[in-house]
Structure 1
Amino acid sequence: MTGSAAAPEPVLRFDSVRKAYGKDAPPVLRDVSLDVAPHTVTALIGASGSGKSTLLRCAALLEDVDDGAIHLDGQDITDPRADADAVRRRIGVVFQAYNLFPHMTVLDNITLAPRRVHRVSRAEAEERARELLERLGLADKAGDYPDRLSGGQQQRAAIVRALAVRPRLLLLDEITAALDPELVGEVLSVVRDLKDEGMTMVLATHEMGFARQVADQVCFLDGGVVCERGTAEEVFGTPTQERTRRFLARITESGRW
């Protein structure tokens, strides 16, 4: 047999997605088309307001799209007939705000969705949670309340909570933005480990150095448009668009590289 094997079906596909907040408002997303292959990391970069977070929120069905479609494993999840709750059970989402319930222990935060949404037994949910806490260096924090944890520990707990439901896809929205600089590394190391394990991820980030290290695909968004897309080496090393070059130059000048 000759020829290369066919490319795998994308886990996530954005097909000409448009989104505006209000009838007369300018679009936040303008005909965004993008494929995310299995077991890869896609990094969304760009200035604040470029559409990165909105794109993730649309993928998580937290926002409705105005036009176009989003497919998860070939299913049009933006079709009004799609079971939104069933779709959300296949997607893990972590935001920059940890959103842990303050009145619940770390263990209870993590096992809530598996027990209530996925109907997993308490014993099974707790076993899975403790395994994940061990892997992410939080085994001794299971019985603590969130206010007893550092920011980095709370964000790692939020990642454990997202992983506890065994998601097909993990969406990470600026997960280091609220952290002190010394805590950023411990959270990013978790993402690096998840990549090594083959988790399919889409992350919006301002951590350019990290994106260059871990991303299989980098997409630069500007004004709701994917201005440039390619491998990390292509986008960061030899960008073809002037807008991308200006953005990266400002990042370098500000010392945020």
Structure 2
Amino acid sequence: MSDTFEKPADAVGAAEDPTSPVLRLESVRKTYGKDTVVLRDVDLEVAPHTVTALIGASGSGKSTLLRCVNLLEEIDDGAILLDGEDITDPRIDPDTVRRRIGVVFQAYNLFPHMTVLDNITLAPRRVHGVAKEEAEERARELLERLGLGAKATSYPDRLSGGQQQRAAIVRALAVRPRLLLLDEITAALDPELVGEVLNVVRDLKDEGMTMVLATHEMGFAREVADQVCFLDAGVVRERGTPAELFGAPKEARTQQFLKRIVEAGRL
């Protein structure tokens, strides 16, 4: 997929600097109501062509963090920068920002009344103004690379869960995102289908895609991530390389969490 990650022609923001973070969160805070703090002064940097894995118990803030990055949730304080530009500035058009960010959720969110090909080409054609022929050519190329070439004209209900999730990944890649967010993309899959989706993420890493993924697949995070962040009650309690965080965690809460993961046979 050497051409998969080209910068969109209509992208906004500063020129990309290969030495600067693609994504930076500065003291990001998110609350629901008056008393429920979901993210507490979160700082995070994601370097180009790296994978950052967010781990932690359900309710720790992983999915909310990703939704804030994609501007699906408004933050209450702090800043989120994409290629050096503060995308949480109220003067920024969220739709313009989202053109540079691909997102894959737990649920596949494919339109059931549209073929796989139409699902994938919808955003390139409607949002990015790509000609139908060009959008379909790229979609078919991506489908072929992800083992779905024969499914272009199928409807989602004719695909297995793993195939639907791979189609959702193709849809996210079709707009040539600068950054790809993956939110528990194996959570809704049968165990036997998890591997085929994780193989796609491995390939994307090898090809240089910048990704932030929230996952409960600890072994996979250990294998594929360049940086692992442990979230607990909306706080990044600890971060480091997989070897550091999984092999020698420093914080007591991290140690407790990983001990339970090991006891459950998930690491």
- State if a TM-score over 0.5 links the two structures: yes
What letter is aligned with 1:15?
Answer: E
Q: Which residue in 2 is equivalent to 1:34?
A: 44
Q: Percent identity?
A: 81
Q: Which residue in 2 is equivalent to 1:254?
A: 264
Q: Which residue in 1 is equivalent to 2:11?
A: none
1:100 aligns with 2:102: no
- Partners of 2:155 and 2:86 in 1: how far apart? 39
Instruction: Kindly report structure 1 stretches of 4+ aligned residues shifted beyond 2 Å.
Output: none
Question: Which of 20, 27, 32 is the aligned partner of 1:21?
Answer: 32
3-state SS of paired residue (1:20): strand
Question: Which of 64, 69, 84 is the aligned partner of 1:74?
Answer: 84
Aligned length, in residue pairs: 251
Range 109-118 or range 78-87, more displaced: 78-87
Contiguous gaps of at least 5 residues in structure 1: 1-5
Contiguous gaps of at least 5 residues in structure 2: 1-16
- Partners of 1:94 and 1:20 in 2: how far apart? 24
Question: Which of 177, 180, 204 is the aligned partner of 2:190?
Answer: 180
Q: Which residue in 2 is equivalent to 1:141?
A: 151
3-state SS of paired residue (2:137): helix
Q: Are the counterparts in 1 of residues 41 and 78 from structure 2 also a CA contact under 8 Å?
A: yes
- Partners of 1:85 and 1:166 in 2: how far apart? 15
Q: Which residue in 2 is equivalent to 1:189?
A: 199
Shift of 1:255: 1.6
**TM-score, normalising length: structure 1:** 0.97
Per-residue CA shift, 1:149-182, capped at 9, x if unaligned? 0000000000000000000000000000000000
**TM-score, normalising length: structure 2:** 0.93
CA RMSD of aligned residues (A): 1.0
- Partners of 2:107 and 2:18 in 1: how far apart? 36
Question: Which of 133, 138, 143 is the aligned partner of 1:123?
Answer: 133
- Partners of 1:135 and 1:171 in 2: how far apart? 20
- Partners of 2:56 and 2:199 in 1: how far apart? 22
1:88 aligns with 2:136: no
- Partners of 2:158 and 2:36 in 1: how far apart? 43
Shift of 1:254: 1.2
Shift of 1:27: 0.7
